[in-house]
Structure 1
Amino acid sequence: MRGKEDKPRISPLVPDPVVAEIARHDWESIVCGCGRSAGHLVDQLWDAAEGHPSAYRALEGHAFQAGQLRPPAPAVCGVLMAVWSAGPPRLATREALLWTLLALASTEDDGSPYEAGLYGQCAAYIRTNVGSLRLEAVTRPDTVSAAYVDGILELLGLAA
Structure 2
Amino acid sequence: MRTTDKQPRTSPLVPDAVAREIARHDWSSIDCGCGRPAGHLDHLADTLWDAAEGHPAAFRALEGHAFHTGVLRPPAPAVSGVLMAVWAAGPPRQLTREALLWALLSLLGAEDDGSSHEAGLYGQCAAHIRAELPGLREAAARCPGSVSAAYADGILRLLDLTA
1:63-113 deviation line (CA, Å, top 9, x unaligned): 001110000000001000000000000000000000000000011134589
Q: What is the distance in 2 between the residues matched to 1:111 and 1:14? A: 34
**Residue in structure 2 matched with residue 14 of structure 1 by the alignment:** 14
**Residue in structure 1 matched with residue 158 of structure 2 by the alignment:** 155
TM-score, length-scaled by structure 2 = 0.91
With over 3 angstroms needed to count, the CA separation of the structure-2 counterparts of 1:17 and 1:107, relative to structure 1, is same
Correspondence 1:98-117 to 2 at 5 A: 98-110=101-113, 115-117=118-120
> Which sections of structure 1, spanning at least 5 residues, go unmatched?
none
**Residue in structure 2 matched with residue 97 of structure 1 by the alignment:** 100
Q: Is the 1:111–1:119 Cα contact (8 Å) retained in structure 2?
A: no
**Residue in structure 2 matched with residue 45 of structure 1 by the alignment:** 48
Which of these residues, 130, 133, 148, is aligned with residue 127 of structure 1? 130
Q: What is the distance in 1 between the residues matched to 2:133 and 2:122? A: 16
> Which sections of structure 2, spanning at least 5 residues, go unmatched?
none
- Displacement of 1:115 after TM fit? 4.0
4+ residue runs over 2 A deviation: 3-6, 109-115
- Amino acid paired to 1:86: A
With over 3 angstroms needed to count, the CA separation of the structure-2 counterparts of 1:132 and 1:119, relative to structure 1, is same
Q: Is the 2:21–2:81 Cα contact (8 Å) retained in structure 1?
A: yes
Q: How many residues align?
A: 158
Correspondence 1:23-102 to 2 at 5 A: 23-35=23-35, 36-37=37-38, 38-102=41-105
With over 3 angstroms needed to count, the CA separation of the structure-2 counterparts of 1:144 and 1:117, relative to structure 1, is same
- Amino acid paired to 1:62: H
1:114-148 deviation line (CA, Å, top 9, x unaligned): 94100000000000001000011111211000000
Q: Which moved more, 1:103-112 or 1:21-30?
A: 103-112
Q: Which moved more, 1:71-80 or 1:137-146?
A: 137-146
Q: Is the 2:139–2:149 Cα contact (8 Å) retained in structure 1?
A: yes
TM-score, length-scaled by structure 1 = 0.93
Q: Is the partner of 2:33 in helix, strand or coil? A: coil
